[in-house]
Amino acid sequence: MTITALTESYSVSPQITLQDIDMLKSQGVEVVINNRPDGETEDQPTSAQMKEAVEAAGLEYVFNPVDLKALSEKEVQAQAAQIDSGKQVFSYCRTGTRSSVLWVLANQGHLASFDELVDQVQAKGFDLGRCMPAMAPLKR
């Protein structure tokens, strides 16, 4: 598992396994956000499986699935609530890109401008180019 820290309290990664949860806990993660809809691939754990394992480890679990074709302020606000919680938040999806998109949209105007945050995320290795059509209506 490759974890990318976007801030001291928010990190993202590609799909995790049930076995990764103990490592996340040992690294101080308090909240695990799943941004991946169930059923994208046959090999991914379901949200119910992840919730059970995350909560069994004593962590909070949030299911905030994102379909970039239908991205709305609802998903951004759900992510923002966790980002602003003051807790160590870890978010994942298939590649980490959707979790990064939500971070940009949730923090635009707070941490930096939209363009500056996009540049920061892209410098960390995430290509947001294909996500721009979905992000544009939510850009401030």
User: pLDDT for 29-47, tens place per residue?
Assistant: 999 999 999 999 998 999 9
pTM confidence score:
0.96
Which of 3.40.50.1820, 1.10.3720.10, 3.40.190.10, 3.90.190.10 is the CATH number of 4-138?
Answer: 3.90.190.10
pLDDT grade for 111, boundaries at 50, 70 and 90: confident
Taking the C-alpha atoms of residue 120 and residue 108, their distance in angstroms, rounded to an integer, is 12
Identify the pLDDT of residue 10.
98
